Structure formats: C-alpha cells, structure tokens
Amino acid sequence: MRYPFNNYYGIYSLHIYTPIISYIMLKSKLLNHNNLCVSSLNTKVTDSSPLIAMNCLQAISYSDNRSIFKLHSKGMITTVNGDKCIQSLHLSDNIELTDCAKANVFGDDREKWTVDYEGKIVSIKHDNVCIGIDLNDNNDILPLHTLDIKVNSEQNDNKHKAIHAFTLGDN
C-alpha cells in the first residue's frame, strides 16, 4: 500500500506463498561413491530408526519408497513411509528419524534443514552439520550382495516372462 487515493489506501502489490512439498532422493556427491543414496532400512520406520547409505539402484529396486523423502517448504525432510522427520540432535550424533510433532516440541529446529547454494543439506539447529554419508562406518552402508529380487509372472501368455527384473553394472 503506497499512497492514499481519495483518502483510501489501495493494494499496490500482492504476493501469495503456498507450502510446497518436493519428493527427493538424497544422493552422495562423493567422486567415487556418487551411486550411494540415503535410505531407511525398510518401510517400517519408527522413532529412532537409523538411516543408511545404499546403492541408489538397489534402493529403487525394492519398490517400497525407502529412499524417497519429502522436502517441505518449512524445512522439514520426512520419509514417504510413516512421515517421520530427519532430525539432528547433537553435533557428534548421527541423524535419525523421529515423529515430527515430538521434535517440534523442543522448539530448537532439530527437525529443520536448509539447502545451500552448493547443494549441501545443512541443519538449521547446527549450521556446521550437514547430511552426509560416512564411508568409514560400515554399519551405515548396506552391502550390495543383500539385494534379493524375486520375480514371477501371473500372465500365462508367453508375453510376460519375468527373466530379468533388475540388473546392475554393464551387464
């Protein structure tokens, strides 16, 4: 509202902001490990469920959205399965999943993140804490040999033979 016109103020400019949810995968940018994605162990996420790194194609092949997250305009990153927030408790701890309402009660923004200009996902609570993959901790990385795909075909018309459901590498 700028200047009065006939003793009334008028709206000069109006901006409307709406909440946005983006569906994302959190993928490593490490040179030799750029095929690793952040994922939950399975679809049964609960409070304090761990997050692990797994081969991105492997995570997608499970077809259960374990590596798909929702990025909210308010800064929260939640799982698609179970709507649990990723939270950063302390500088030295791993990130973990928790109920968003429980994390919000503390009022310290432990469940909120921001994406900087380089693509780093930085904690609002601790500005020097980023979501990353620790290659030195083997417990955080799911080995590829655990990939177990079972296929079958319910169509008995010779057009739906499930020979190769998923392949990795050049072969």
Per-residue model confidence as pLDDT tens digits over 127-139: 788 887 776 665 5
Q: Which tokens sit at 87?
A: 């939270």
Q: Which residue has the higher pLDDT, 58 or 13?
A: 58
> With left for phi above 0 and alpha for psi between -120 and 50, is residue 119 left, alpha or beta?
left
Of 105, 96, 98, 103, the residue nearest 82 (C-alpha): 98
Report the C-alpha gap between 92 and 7 in whole angstroms: 60
Whole-model pTM above 0.85?
Answer: no
Q: What is the pLDDT at residue 112?
A: 92
Region of poorest pLDDT, from 2-16, 22-36, 132-146, 155-169: 155-169
Q: Are 44 and 53 within 8 A, CB to CB?
A: no
Give pLDDT tens digits for 105-158.
989 998 999 888 888 888 888 878 888 777 666 556 666 555 554 555 555 566
Region of poorest pLDDT, from 23-37, 39-53, 108-122, 142-156: 142-156
Query: Any idea which residue has 């928790």 for tokens?
Result: 98
Of 33, 51, 55, the residue nearest 166 (C-alpha): 55
